[in-house]
Amino acid sequence: MTAPAPTRSSAELIRAEEPVLAHNYHPLPVVVARAEGTWVEDVEGRRYLDMLAGYSALNFGHRHPALIEAAHRQLDRLTLTSRAFHNDQLAEFAERLTALTGLDMVLPMNTGAEAVESGIKVARKWAYDVKGVPADRATIVVAAENFHGRTTTIVSFSTDETARAGFGPFTPGFRIVPYNDLAAMEAAIDETTAAVLLEPIQGEAGVIIPDDGYLAGVRALTERAGCLLIADEIQSGLGRTGRTLAVEHEGVVPDVLLLGKALGGGIVPVSAVVARREVLSVLHPGEHGSTFGGNPLAAGVGTAVVELLETGEYQRRAAELGVVLRGGLHRLVGRGVVGFRARGLWAGVDVDPAIGTGREVSERLMGEGVLVKDTHGSTIRLAPPLTITAEELESALASLEKVLGA
Ligand SMILES: Cc1ncc(COP(=O)(O)O)c(C=O)c1O
């Protein structure tokens, strides 16, 4: 990890951001200057174990050699064509991604929110063109406490007032039901329903894992009603839970899969709508697009990401180390931790509010050289790179134990 000597200290850089950057985030007071694998280093050279991994965008760690090599290779040849022309990277990316996911076609986009928006548009078009829903009447059923991104349409069906307030008027056509409630889901679906859009595990809500049978139940309901199931695996997918996709834990195959974050290897924004042919075939030239979607740099890196997942190594690591993570958290229950939910290398940990808010615990962990992120109230989220070692994971758990005073 070598970089030019910094000209400003962490404190100076944090102060410098204040007047010139929008205040839509409240970052921990650490200024990262370089990173490798599971470790990041700040401007002053202090090292931290990254237990957030860019909200799962860094599933393969920082600067994974195979991904950096793919990016360099592509940077030296071709970076952007727009979709006005073909590029020589896109076919292989789509071939490998469909093979990995068991679906038929890919619509490449850039950010997660764009994949969600695109999935919504595709589902609505499918409802009109294939299902025969009358024009402008299509509905999409979503779950309360969802997090699917930040665009105007997506916040239209958020139940988080902080994400919504002040951003109306909102896009109509969404029905919100409680998560993990099959009866409510069944009641909300009718002949206008184009799709059910769900996170198989709700990440931002605090790593909320539905009861066994819920996802399979929703799949059965959507099949019976003749509507689509859209799985937003932008955070849960690509190895995080110990499988390639979180829906695999229930043997569910969605009609539409939304991927992002780790698909870009932590290097470039790459997202995708991956779907059955009947569904994605509703799009024709001119009806949807993105200047950067499917660019050769993104496709080259995305292909390298899929190649890593084809080995099964990262899914296996997440499953095996997930046992260590769960075991460590289990030991802390009643000793600073009031509860936790975990699957693979992903956990939402509710700390005793008497000990501190999630933010306070995150700051104390930072003092111990471990970076995490709080969600609501006293919940912190653990999502380390899937390349983490058992020793590193144990040391992060020991730091958590220390800051909780257990
Ligand atoms: C499940 C889910 N969907 C969509 C998004 C939005 O992704 P992006 O921030 O890349 O727009 C996120 C981001 O956290 C997410 O967790």
- What's the number of CA atoms in the CB half-sphere (13 Å) around residue 235? 27
Residues 272 and 356 in one domain: no
Q: Helices 296-310 and 313-332, interaxial angle, to 10°?
A: 70
Q: Is residue 15 part of a domain?
A: no
Q: Is residue 199 part of a domain?
A: yes
d(CA 149, CA 93) in angstroms, rounded, equals 24
d(CA 300, CA 74) in angstroms, rounded, equals 7
Average pLDDT over residues 253-280: 98
**How far, in whole angstroms, is CA 321 from its chain's centroid?**
19
Alpha helix locations (H) across 244-312? 277-280, 296-310
The question of whether 85 is a catalytic residue gets the answer: no
Residues 285 and 359 in one domain: no
According to the model, what pLDDT value does residue 6 have? 66
Residues 188 and 329 in one domain: no
Structural domains in the chain (count): 2
Q: How confident is the model at residue 3 (pLDDT cuts 50, 70, 90)?
A: low
Q: Is residue 383 part of a domain?
A: no
Residues 207 and 333 in one domain: no
According to the model, what pLDDT value does residue 2 have? 57
According to the model, what pLDDT value does residue 377 have? 85
Q: For residue 148, how far is its CA from the centre of ligand 1 (angstroms)?
A: 5
Return the sign of the alpha-carbon dihedral for residues 250, 301, 25, 114: negative
Residues 130 and 246 in one domain: yes
Residues 209 and 328 in one domain: no
Q: Where are the beta strands (DSSP E) in 110-255?
A: 139-143, 174-177, 193-198, 228-232
- Percent residues over pLDDT 90 in the chain: 97
| 116 CB within 6 A, ligand 1 | yes
The question of whether 261 is a catalytic residue gets the answer: yes
Q: Which domain holds residue 215?
A: 65-145+178-310
Q: Which of 243, 279, 237 is nearest to 258 (CA)?
A: 237
Residues 131 and 269 in one domain: yes
Kindly report the average pLDDT of the chain as a whole number.
97
DSSP-assigned states of every residue in 293-360:
TT-HHHHHHHHHHHHHHHT-HHHHHHHHHHHHHHHHHHHHBTTTEEEEEESSS-EEEEE-TTT--HHH
Average pLDDT over residues 385-389: 98
Neighbours of 8 (CB within 10 A): 12
Residues 101 and 243 in one domain: yes
Return the sign of the alpha-carbon dihedral for residues 346, 351, 355, 356: positive
Q: Is residue 250 part of a domain?
A: yes
Q: In this model, does residue 1 exceed pLDDT 80?
A: no
Q: For residue 57, how far is its CA from the centre of ligand 1 (angstroms)?
A: 10
Phi-psi region for residue 239, left (φ > 0), alpha (ψ -120 to 50) or beta? left
d(CA 372, CA 52) in angstroms, rounded, equals 5
Q: In this model, does residue 4 exceed pLDDT 70?
A: no
Q: What are the tens digits of pLDDT across the range 127-164?
A: 999 999 999 999 999 999 999 999 999 999 999 999 99
Q: For residue 265, how far is its CA from the centre of ligand 1 (angstroms)?
A: 15
Residues 248 and 327 in one domain: no
**Selected catalytic residue, list 261, 340, 350, 374:** 261
Ligand 1 atom with the shortest distance to the CA of 271: 10
d(CA 252, CA 275) in angstroms, rounded, equals 14
Q: What are the tens digits of pLDDT across the range 68-80?
A: 999 999 999 999 9
Q: What are the tens digits of pLDDT across the range 81-120?
A: 999 999 999 999 999 999 999 999 999 999 999 999 999 9
Cα separations in angstroms, 380 against 202, 212, 315: 14, 24, 23
Residues 215 and 289 in one domain: yes
> Angle 380-238-74 (CA atoms, 0-180°, nearest 5)?
115
Q: Is residue 166 part of a domain?
A: no
Average pLDDT over residues 364-381: 94
The question of whether 147 is a catalytic residue gets the answer: yes
pTM: predicted TM-score of the whole model, two decimal places:
0.98
Q: What are the tens digits of pLDDT across the range 220-244?
A: 999 999 999 999 999 999 999 999 9
Average pLDDT over residues 312-323: 98
Q: For residue 111, how far is its CA from the centre of ligand 1 (angstroms)?
A: 8
Q: How confident is the model at residue 376 (pLDDT cuts 50, 70, 90)?
A: confident
CB 221 within 8 A of CB 247: no
Q: Is residue 224 part of a domain?
A: yes
Q: Is residue 1 part of a domain?
A: no
Residues 238 and 282 in one domain: yes
Q: Is residue 261 part of a domain?
A: yes
Residues 257 and 327 in one domain: no
CATH number at residue 201: 3.40.640.10
Instruction: Indicate which residue's Cα is closest to atom 2 of ligand 1.
Output: 148
**Selected catalytic residue, list 60, 93, 147, 340:** 147
d(CA 44, CA 82) in angstroms, rounded, equals 40
